[in-house]
Amino acid sequence: MSCDIDTAMIMAAGHGTRMRPLTNDIPKALVKVNGKAMVDHAIDRVKAAGISRIVINIHAHADKMRAHLEARNDDSIIISDETDALLETGGGIKKALPLLGDKPILTHNCDSIWIEGMGATLPRLIDAFDPAEMDAMLVLAVTASIVGDVGRGDFTMEADGRIEWREPRSVAPFMYTGVQIIKPQLFADIDEQAFSTTKVWRTLTEQGRAYGLRHDGIWMHVGTPQALDDTEAFLRDL
């Protein structure tokens, strides 16, 4: 049974250290891909999926991020201000809990760019998420169809969609794309203020409550200047 998803959180607070020197004076979320800021790619994708509320966290170069978002003149965008401290992905969600509501939310890393496959990824994800069986559902890309840094992959996936972490000193066929649906209340009782969402996923995989959705297009991880060059070259060749 699918769930109505009306709120998304775009993760845009990071320093973008690996993207330097492009992020010396602007946040990573404002680095342009094909002439368009990464955060705008994410906002437009989320809005196209019918999401009516978009929370965006800001930290690095917060004044420039705030000005950019306010210039959109979009009442659906709500800023979660993390200028006092960098909280990582999990801590960012925890701080934003008063803005997110109680229902499952979609989260979207700002550096996640993709080309759709047979169907639109976000509607597929929303349709597939079953809150009775799942606490999180991650969009996973096959490592062979990724433009950018792949590493050793992140997860294996069972036939029913349940995911498991890659074993140490091994490789895995799937990589997290930076997009998921997750229940925000999972972050409420974690004592730390700054922590990665990985902390929540590890508990969920042990409980069999974490699932994956295979992305059937091409995913581009725009995390470095070289990955940005590779992404733009790939998009030019389409």
pLDDT at 139 > cutoff 70: yes
Average pLDDT over residues 198-221: 91
pLDDT at 39 > cutoff 60: yes
162 within 8 A of 208, measured Cβ to Cβ: yes
Q: Which CATH superfamily is domain 7-236 in?
A: Spore Coat Polysaccharide Biosynthesis Protein SpsA; Chain A (3.90.550.10)
Separation CA 200–CA 88 (nearest Å): 13
Separation CA 30–CA 82 (nearest Å): 17
Beta strand 105-109 with 7-11: parallel, antiparallel or unpaired? parallel
- Which of 183, 30, 192 shows the shortest CA–CA distance to 95? 192
How is residue 101 annotated by DSSP? -
Cα-based torsion angle of the residue sequence 59, 165, 135, 178 in order, rounded to the nearest 10 degrees: 40
* 168 phi and psi angles, rounded to 5 deg: -55, 145
**Is the model's pTM score more than 0.75?**
yes
Average pLDDT, the chain: 89
Q: Domain ranges for the chain, please list them.
A: 7-236
Residues 6+ apart with CB under 8 A from 20: none
- In angstroms, what CA-CA distances link 180 with 19, 177, 203, 206? 23, 8, 16, 18
pLDDT at 208 > cutoff 90: yes
- Confidence band of 2 (pLDDT split at 50, 70, 90): low
Radius of gyration of the chain (CA): 17
How is residue 187 annotated by DSSP? G
Q: Which two tokens stand for residue 151?
A: 């590493």
Separation CA 199–CA 188 (nearest Å): 13
pLDDT at 20 > cutoff 70: yes
In this predicted model, what pLDDT tens digit does every residue of 149-203 receive, in sequence order? 666 767 888 999 999 888 777 777 888 999 999 999 999 989 889 999 999 999 9
30 within 8 A of 68, measured Cβ to Cβ: yes
Separation CA 101–CA 98 (nearest Å): 6
